[in-house]
Amino acid sequence: MSSPYSGATPSGASSPGTPEGATQTAQAGFGYQDNEAYSGNMGTPTTEEGRPDVEGTSVGALIGEVTKDFSTLMRQELELAKVELKAEAKKAGQGAGMFGAAGFAGYMVLMFLSIALWWALSHLVGHSWSALIVAVLWGVIGAVAFVMGRKKFREVNPKPERTVDTLQQVPGALKPN
């Protein structure tokens, strides 16, 4: 026995409440073939207020449909959250990779520049003082690089914004109009 809510009426057969001459297809999910108003893709006829006409449908069938719809909604929201988190994690990974590559290249260049600077300053102030001056310069540069890197990582947003927005709409959608 099929309910008018499921929209599953054999082809050519009329379900209760179906107007004369209007038939449904054998596949669930398609509505009346004429231009009568129906709800969603379920093929459920609507009342004049635009609500599904579920007269004669059992409460159990209606609760089953609501449960199925709610389950589908939750699966879709979880999938959206996964996609958003994956995108943010990819951004963070790319930023970390760039930090690593830049750090290594910078290390090699700066090591040789530091040796050259140390050697050049040693002619003016001696080897010990020139090494200390070069070390202090690199300490300042390292502190600036740390602050800039920390600022970049603070731009990463681990919160799935679109998922939170759509989940906030769920309680309102469950309330009767």
* Helix/strand/coil (H/E/C) assignment for every residue in 56-102: CCCHHHHHHHHHHHHHHHHHHHHHHHHHHHHHHHHHHHHHHHHHHHH
Q: Give helix 59-125 / helix 127-154 axis angle, nearest 10°.
A: 160
Which of 19-23, 50-54, 148-152, 156-160 comes out lowest in average pLDDT? 19-23
Q: State yes or no: pLDDT of 41 exceeds 60.
A: no
Better pLDDT: 166 or 32 = 166
% of the chain surpassing 70 pLDDT = 71
Give the pLDDT score at 144: 93
Q: State the Cα–Cα distance between residues 49 and 137, nearest whole angstrom.
A: 76
The per-residue pLDDT for 60 is: 86
**Separation between Cα atoms, residue 173 and residue 69, nearest integer Å:** 12
Mean per-residue pLDDT, 127-131: 87
Out of 35-44, 97-106, 142-151, which region has the weakest mean confidence (pLDDT)? 35-44
Can you give the pLDDT at residue 75? 92
Sequence length of the chain is 177
